[in-house]
Amino acid sequence: MNLTNLTKIALKALYNNKMRCFLTMLGIIIGVASVITMLAIGQGSKRSIREQISEMGSNMIMIHPGNMERGGVRQEASSMQTLKLTDYKAIDEKTEYVSACSPSVNSSGQFIYGANNYPSTIYGITEDYLDIRKLSVEEGNMFTPQDVLTSAKVCLVGKTVADNLFPNGESPIGKVIRFNKIPFKIIGTLTPKGYNSMGMDQDDMVLAPYTTVQKRILAITYLQGIYCSALSEELTPQATEEIGRILRKNHKIKEGEDDDFEIRSQEELSSMLSSTTDMMTVLLACIAGISLLVGGIGIMNIMYVSVTERTREIGLRMSIGARGIDILAQFLIEAVLISVTGGIIGVLLGVGASAVVNVVFNWPVYVQAYSVVLSFFVCTITGIFFGWYPARKAANLDPIEAIRYE
């Protein structure tokens, strides 16, 4: 069998039926173009959903001292004093997967301003905390590293605290509130975040330098927790592992012994994220499959009609020496050429349409190389698969009857 000649024959046959050829291709073109556009839109929204979810702090890692037994009595975790400032420094300096890191100490109590008071919690942290918890300053400024060094008595207040202490709507900036008889100057307010999914008010907080809370309020040297954020949501497991390694080394924990700390990440958010994107992928795969199936049936239909229509031609080819396999190959090549050409046009159209969607509707789109390769591959397979049956029918024709077919 001479493939070059057969390809020439197939090309010639297609060229002689340009219109039919184009209409057959149309199914594949639309199929592939829609698959690519869908996937591009899907990937785009997947990415923007991912970004939004990570806004909620899906890459956040919390480290707390682990509870231990002391004389047979299991202690409350918060009473443990195993997390030190050196742990924070080690994490801050040595990790590769952590983008921000802040120690945390906190104290609950009554905040007083003039005749108003409100029970809340003061969190002792560093500036990084804003990034980690995705908080932002609405008015005023964040405290500086200098304030941390000098244990300055400055603070930022959340909306709930500000509303309760300043019910008349006056600006809290520059006011001095008291906590445990210690005066704190308000240097900023936090942008309201509302309640979280657990029903906790995320605006019910006061932020201050951790040194201030540690020394002036709690008078302790240990840390109650360390908050970190991984470079990205996907890198959270690596970051968690890395932090664990550093802390075990710092705490001189031997192989086989239990950790004296606990590392938690936002697994709930992570799993939500992956289930959302998985569902989207399945949905898109279904749509893609249906489009290509319809295109493939189009090919089969036209090829089938074409075989009947060209019975005489097939009969002639056979009588002048074409073997069954030559006829089969010719029709298969025709089908594959149609579907591959349609595939190429479809890819171009799909990429173009994605760009149009991006510009006109301002939707996030993202064309992935794999979707182009995949759809191209699939349409070739479609061509072979759906071209096979009609091609076999052509190859099995009896030349005696085919040549006299009217």
Partner 1 sequence: MATKEIIRLENIRRNFIVGNETVHALRGVTFTINAGEFVTIMGTSGSGKSTLLNILGCLDTPTSGEYYLDGIPVKSMGKNDRSTLRNRKIGFVFQSYNLLPKTTALENVELPLMYNSSISAKMRHELASKALDAVGLSDRKNHKSNQMSGGQQQRVAIARALVNDPVIILADEATGNLDTRTSFEILVLFQELHARGRTIVFVTHNPELSSYSSRNIVLRDGKVISDTSNKKQASALEMLQKLPVETD
* Binding stretches for partner 1 (CB under 8 A): 1-2, 5-6, 8-9, 12, 16, 312-313, 315-326, 399-400, 403
Alpha-carbon span 47 to 44, nearest angstrom: 5
Measured from the CB atom, the residue of 320 and 369 that comes closer to partner 1 is: 320
Alpha-carbon span 180 to 217, nearest angstrom: 7
Smallest separation, CB 24 to partner 1 (Å): 18
Say which residue the tokens 């995705």 belong to. Answer: 134
Measured from the CB atom, the residue of 162 and 314 that comes closer to partner 1 is: 314
239: its two tokens = 């970051």
Measured from the CB atom, the residue of 208 and 332 that comes closer to partner 1 is: 332
Measured from the CB atom, the residue of 241 and 401 that comes closer to partner 1 is: 401
Is residue 346 within 8 Å of 33, Cβ to Cβ?
yes
Smallest separation, CB 234 to partner 1 (Å): 55
Q: Is 187 helix (H, G, I), strand (E, B) or coil?
A: strand
Smallest separation, CB 21 to partner 1 (Å): 13
119: exposed, middle or buried (Cβ count in 10 Å: 0-12, 13-18, 19+): exposed
DSSP 91-134: HHHH-SSEEEEEEEEEEEEEEEETTEEEEEEEEEE-THHHHHHT
Smallest separation, CB 383 to partner 1 (Å): 22
Smallest separation, CB 327 to partner 1 (Å): 10
H-only helix segments in 16-120: 18-55, 85-94
What's the farthest any 2 CA atoms get from each other in the chain? 110
Measured from the CB atom, the residue of 286 and 400 that comes closer to partner 1 is: 400
191: its two tokens = 């942008």
Measured from the CB atom, the residue of 299 and 322 that comes closer to partner 1 is: 322
Smallest separation, CB 322 to partner 1 (Å): 5
Measured from the CB atom, the residue of 290 and 400 that comes closer to partner 1 is: 400
Smallest separation, CB 44 to partner 1 (Å): 46
Give 43's contacts (C-beta < 8 A, 6+ positions apart). Answer: 365, 366, 367, 368, 371
Measured from the CB atom, the residue of 1 and 200 that comes closer to partner 1 is: 1
Nearest to 233 by CA among 191, 268, 185, 285: 268
Alpha-carbon span 205 to 165, nearest angstrom: 12
E strand or H helix at 226: strand 225-230
Smallest separation, CB 1 to partner 1 (Å): 7
Measured from the CB atom, the residue of 2 and 48 that comes closer to partner 1 is: 2
252: exposed, middle or buried (Cβ count in 10 Å: 0-12, 13-18, 19+): exposed
Smallest separation, CB 8 to partner 1 (Å): 7
Kindly report the number of other CB atoms within 10 A of residue 270's CB atom.
Answer: 18
